């Protein structure tokens, strides 16, 4: 068994290295066992492993394991069921407060999509957002998020400086009516555009950002703020600052986690904040979980922070109650 396993790995690596020069390839591998003896079983299991390899990255191979069937089935079920999630009222929003480190008060909140599946219960956002962002469902779900967030925001009766942040996937920007829809919703709920921010997922941005500039420029000129989310985790962070009408950046939680003790993280965060401030951009730290991180961020003059240290995401009703305290 071990010999066959090693031979399959070597063969798979040779094939992917040769073919990847001209084509994209992913390989699924299955080894005969007591449970899958027939050629049909082997082929079926190899196909299952290949599907998993495709979901991983280009040019990979995967061996079949019995738990892969459950993983593939769940993924297919979610891809199918997400189409009906709005109609079934399974989607809802929660809001995570954003705190001014200087004023020590809530100055904004980020709208976060949640999915309570009828039979599977709460689905991890990381799991289903990957499906949503790659599919055309992002257009309907994205509009639902915008309308729900703005309609609930209208009820909060917050000061004019308070800001609601809404995540926008790059694919949404390809929709011709995206900008028009935002403006219509702002008019419908009689909101001040300056109290709204859209967060662009930086590591998902398509490299040809010129396709987006015109739409983002219209959005920016209306007063809506544009933030780069997960800043520093993608491939063109600083290029976006140079070419897009950006108002702020959100430093990814991966740089905040060990900030109090990790010198590399300290240098990265310090440089990011200094560059952003030199460009007159606001800086928000994500994933803050303890006092030591807060102290480190304050020393670096970070503007705002959000994370479990302050509050978990909550319903609109709970946020209203919190804001009244």
Checking if the pLDDT of 17 tops 90, the result is no
Give the H or E element holding residue 179: helix 178-188
Q: Which residue has the higher pLDDT, 310 or 13?
A: 310
pLDDT at residue 40, rounded to an integer? 74
* HEC per residue, 225-260: EEEEEEECCCCCHHHHHHHCCCCEEEECHHHHCCCC
Selection from 52, 53, 46 nearest residue 75 by Cα = 52
249-to-171, 197, 282, 305 alpha-carbon distances in Å:
20, 11, 6, 11
Number of Cβ within 10 Å of residue 73's Cβ equals: 11
Query: Is the Cβ–Cβ distance between 221 and 189 less than 8 Å?
Result: no
- DSSP labels, 82-135: GGGTTTTT-EEEEEEEEEETTTTEEEEEEEEEEEEETTTEEEPHHHHHHHHHHS
Give residue limits of the domains in the chain: 2-64, 81-324
Superfamily of domain 81-324: EAL domain (3.20.20.450)
pTM for this prediction? 0.79
pLDDT tens string 208-226:
666 788 899 999 999 999 9
Q: Is 167 exposed, middle or buried (0-12, 13-18, 19+ CB in 10 A)?
A: buried
What is the per-residue pLDDT across 108-117, written as a single tens digit (0 to 9) for each?
Answer: 999 999 999 9
């Amino acid at each position: 068994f071990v010999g066959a396993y090693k031979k399959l790995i070597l063969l798979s690596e040779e094939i992917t290295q040769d073919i990847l020069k001209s084509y994209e390839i992913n390989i699924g591998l299955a080894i005969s066992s007591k449970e899958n003896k027939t050629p049909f079983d082997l082929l079926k299991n190899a196909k299952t492993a290949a599907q998993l390899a495709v979901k991983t990255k280009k040019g990979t191979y995967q061996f079949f394991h019995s738990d892969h069937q459950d993983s593939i089935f769940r993924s297919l079920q979610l891809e199918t069921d997400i189409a009906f999630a709005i109609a079934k009222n399974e989607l809802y929003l929660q809001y995570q407060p954003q705190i001014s480190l200087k004023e020590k008060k809530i100055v904004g909140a980020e709208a976060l999509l949640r999915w309570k599946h009828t039979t599977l219960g709460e689905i991890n956002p990381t799991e289903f957002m990957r499906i949503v962002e790659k599919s055309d469902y992002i257009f309907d779900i994205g509009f639902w998020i915008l309308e729900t967030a703005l309609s609930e925001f209208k009820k909060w009766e917050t000061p004019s400086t308070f800001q609601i942040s809404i995540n926008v996937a790059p694919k949404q920007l390809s929709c011709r009516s995206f900008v028009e829809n935002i403006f219509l919703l702002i008019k419908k709920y009689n909101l001040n555009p300056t109290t709204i921010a859209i967060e662009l997922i930086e590591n998902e941005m398509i490299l040809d950002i010129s396709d987006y500039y015109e739409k983002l420029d219209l959005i920016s000129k209306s007063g809506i703020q544009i933030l780069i989310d997960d800043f520093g985790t993608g491939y063109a962070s600083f290029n976006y600052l140079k070419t897009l009408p950006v108002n702020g950046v959100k430093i990814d939680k991966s740089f905040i986690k060990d900030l109090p003790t990790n010198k590399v993280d300290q240098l990265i965060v310090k440089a990011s904040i200094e560059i952003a401030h030199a460009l007159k951009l606001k800086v928000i730290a994500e994933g803050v979980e303890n006092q030591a991180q807060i102290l480190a961020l304050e020393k670096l003059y970070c503007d705002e922070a959000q994370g479990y240290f302050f509050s978990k995401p909550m319903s609109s009703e709970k946020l209203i109650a919190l804001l009244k305290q």
